[in-house]
Amino acid sequence: MLHGQKRAHIRPGALVVVVGSGPIGLLHMLSAKVAGARVIVSEPHPSRLAQATKLGADVAVDPTQQDLAEIVRSESGGWGADAVIVAVGNKVASEGAMRLLGMQGTLVLFAGMYPNVPLQVDSNFVHCSEINITGSSDYSHAEFLESVSFMERKLIDTTKLASHVLPFDQVEQGMQIVRQATSLKVIIEVNRPTSV
């Protein structure tokens, strides 16, 4: 996740939009806040949007109910976002995210799409606005250690991302919760005593 943050060139005072507030999107939001950015989170699921607000999003937007592009314009004084991180594998969200960027902004595609779907890109917008488009899917050893340091120093509290902790005999229930796509991280404890 920090690798993606670095690809986005997040700096203090930047306006960052995070599309999707599942566990990865929330980690991006929290990391951007540690870097000194203001963060707008876009998420259609009410429970996940509420969690983004609870964890410190400066602005939380339901894009099915509000005009995300207009909110970004308003929050940026008409300039646009410095970075947009797409943490969902969604064609419409990925294509729309580019239009949220200001001059020389960076779009980070942090989620793959299955099945793979080509994105349509407005080459003139990229050219005239000098947009950077990049992906992120891995990390370096140094970034791993930096992430651990964030947690050790309590700059990011990852325990707030676990919405369910279940014993091993409830794996099926855990999978059903994940399929609903409204929870956060579902953890199965392998060594926890099973329920009676």
Q: What is the DSSP letter of 136?
A: -
Domains of the chain: 2-141 (3.40.50.720), 157-196 (no CATH)
Dihedral sign for Cα 165, 167, 168, 170, please: negative
pLDDT score, position 80 = 97
Average pLDDT value for the chain: 90
Please tell me the pTM assigned to this model: 0.86
pLDDT in tens, 161-182: 888 899 989 999 999 988 887 7
Neighbours of 98 (CB within 10 A): 20
Q: What DSSP string describes 113-125? A: -SS--PPP--HHH
Q: How confident is the model at residue 192 (pLDDT cuts 50, 70, 90)?
A: low
Q: How confident is the model at residue 19 (pLDDT cuts 50, 70, 90)?
A: very high
Average pLDDT over residues 99-112: 94
Does residue 167 sit in helix, strand or coil?
A: strand
Q: For residues 93 and 140, what is the distance between their CA atoms, to the nearest angstrom?
A: 28
Q: How confident is the model at residue 194 (pLDDT cuts 50, 70, 90)?
A: low
pLDDT score, position 196 = 52
